[in-house]
Chain A
Amino acid sequence: MSSAHSAGAAGQDGDDGAAGDFAAPARPPGILAPVVMAEPTNYPSAKARLLWTIGAALFWAFPVAGLLVWGFVASAWSTWPFQAAAAAVVVFAATNIAVVPAWRWRVHRWEVGAEAVYTRTGWFTQERRIAPITRIQTVDTARGPLDRMLGLSTVTVTTASAAGPVTIHALDQAVADQVVAELTAIAARNKGDAT
């Protein structure tokens, strides 16, 4: 943000003084200093990949069971609709169980900095989310049965926006507790209603 010469549009300013309050020098719109975003520093728990693999396997068990029932009940093993469906299920299940957890592991990162909570999630579609700590409204942890089995926890940080919360997936329980304690302590210090 080093460059500063007046915006072309400012010449038309015939306003009744209201616009004069913006004393900051007008930056030419769109011309910004290049910025490289740092990646969040922390990895999820080492058991995250196991969690995602088991989760995917459990999910795909249902379509596979459905296929088996279809095959046995209708004796449809050699018909083309069955084979097409079976091929699709096998391909998607294999990708989801064998490839996606590792892919996710390469993407998922999180960081709770002094000013903001910052995460990177996803695999095919990847998202980086940033919520400034001053705007945090609630901090939740969620532990499904699988999470409890593996001693993991998911921390969800919500703001006043409907645009969606910042979620830190698959943290070790101890780490999650620490993150929650830290965030709630900071959020409690902030005044205002975070909107």
Chain B
Amino acid sequence: MTAPNDGWERLDARMLLIHPFATAVKLLPALIGVVILGSRSTGPVPMLLLVVAVVLIGGALRWLTTRYRVGQDNIELKTGLVQRKLLSIPRNRVRSVDIEAGPLHRLLGLAVLKIGTGQTETATSSSKFELNALRASTVPALRTALLAHTEHAPALESGPPREGARAAGTGTEIGGWSASWVRYAPLSASGLIAIAAVFAFLMQFGAVTERLFSSDVLADEAGSLTIATGALIVTGIAAALLVASSVLAVAQYLIVYGAFTLVDSGRVLHVSHGLLTKRQRALDRARLRGTTLHQPLALRLAGGAKLSAIMTGSKVGDATSSLLLPQAPLRQAHQVMGAVLHDRTLVTVPLRRHPRAALRRRFVRALWPVAALAATLSILTLRGTTVPTWSWLLLAPLAVAGAALAVDRYRGLGHATTHGWLITSQGSLLRRRDTLATDGVIGWTVRQTFFQRRAGLATLIAATPAGNGAYQVVDLAADDAWALAQAVTSRFGNTWVRAAC
């Protein structure tokens, strides 16, 4: 180990203010517990003082024991008091440097630097390289230095480097974000998810739910419900949920994606957003393997879309780390997609429809639950059980909705391959169109269930080290699967295919 202060630096001293605050927020539920429990025995004050002291000392120790060093070949982070830990990352392994600054950080002029090495496994907190926090003004320079080695990496995008735009920070704004896009926010599930999270949080306090569900009022009311009042209550709850989730979604959209910018500086795409917590990410074009256009049903009906990048070295399932455009008008999403991929024609490539057998499969999948329900009701009726009339009436709308879903899911299926790209589309409720660079495909799986074999269909799965790791072409004609795989990756050789004469 090198001598102290041999290039080792501390985090910014202003973290002494932030750490205790952040810890306090994390401990909030426990603190509430302390106050409630404490009042029964010794009173809350001594306990609270103890907690405050522990938090303050903890923050100070954390600052004192954390040092980092940016060396010639490695970047190192030393943490821990009792269990000393040294995390060392070779600089040429640094694949992404993200900058994040919460409201408190911004108030104090600080920013968090997060270094990613492209681990695909879920990185545990112990292996995350995070400098929390540095003086905000020093961070951009450090990021540029850390990413300097990617400068000469061969870029996948074969477009010529845009002259005069090579230096980080300069470039053209291609996001074109507008606050009016917030109108698309209520059309995604984020509001509902937020409500579910709040509800789950409340559920943890058993007493609350116990009181809610065991209340005599509720039980009495439930007994004397008519269909009309029942429907009214359900409608009322649904409407309230809708309003609440819309408000939450709008607020969340503005807070998370407010002031969104996407700057194309040729080699790197700089993404920055957030009204309170400001996040900045640099997406290296050398790691770009394509884009995914997300069009969930409601968003699609309103003419909106979301765009994310398919990057190598981004964690699987980490959607926010590769976001290119939040909920936005489809037109704008298309424009950004064309600009990012350097090929506007990719946006409008007509997709090849999948065989009618695929439509049949969609119908079977959407309608068998309805059929099963109908069968159950019939059996119950035949055995003499009285089945409420509304359950029969429910079957018709369910069947119609199922059929509509099946048709839309079928219309969503499609694929195409053009000079260097594989394009695949699927889904209805979560429609997505993946545009994947064929260079990024490193393997194929052709999957056929028993039913797919009978229908002459197959699902082709392109394996790639980028994004999800696998991109599916669902239910295409089995014969097309081989042809598509061969067309996309002829460089794999042809030991496993022979052309039909």
**A binding-site residues for B, Cβ under 8 Å:** 1, 7-10, 12-15, 17-19, 21-22, 24, 26-27, 29-38, 40, 111, 113-116, 118, 124-132, 135, 159-164, 166, 194-195
Contacts and interface: CB of A to CB of B under 8 A. Distances in A.
Contact of A159 (B343, B463, B487): B463
Interface of B: 120, 157-160, 312-313, 316, 338, 342-345, 348-352, 415-420, 423, 442-450, 453, 461-465, 468-470, 479-487, 489-500
Contact of B484 (A26, A32, A111, A115): A32
Given A163-B470, A166-B443, 7 more contacts: A8-B350, A27-B418, A34-B499, A116-B495, A126-B453, A131-B463, A162-B470
Contact of A113 (B160, B483, B493): B493
Question: What is the interface of chain A mostly: helix, strand, loop, or mixed?
Answer: loop
Contacts of B481: 37
Contacts of B338: 15
Contact of A34 (B157, B462, B479): B479
A127 B344 contact: no
Contacts of A8: 350
B443 A130 contact: yes
A132 B492 contact: yes
B345 A19 contact: yes
A38 B493 CA distance: 13
Contacts of A37: 446, 481-482, 496-497
A183 to B, nearest CB: 14
A131 to B, nearest CB: 4
A27 to B, nearest CB: 7
Nearest to A193: B465
B388 to A, nearest CB: 27
Contacts of B351: 29-30
Contacts of B483: 32-35
A13 B342 CA distance: 11
A194 to B, nearest CB: 7
A18 B350 contact: no
A56 B22 CA distance: 54
Contacts of A129: 443-446
Contacts of A15: 338, 342-344
| Interchain residue pairs A-B with the least CB separation, the first 7 | A30-B352, A162-B469, A115-B493, A18-B159, A113-B495, A29-B416, A163-B470
Contacts of B443: 129-132, 135, 159, 161, 163, 166
B343 A163 contact: no
Nearest to A7: B418
B108 to A, nearest CB: 39
A36 B448 contact: no
B496 A111 contact: yes
Contacts of B352: 29-31
Contacts of A13: 344-345
Given A26-B419, A30-B415, A161 B465 contact: yes
Contacts of B486: 32, 35
Contacts of B350: 8-9, 29-30
7 contacts: A18-B160, A18-B343, A124-B449, A127-B448, A131-B463, A161-B442, A163-B463
A38 B492 CA distance: 14
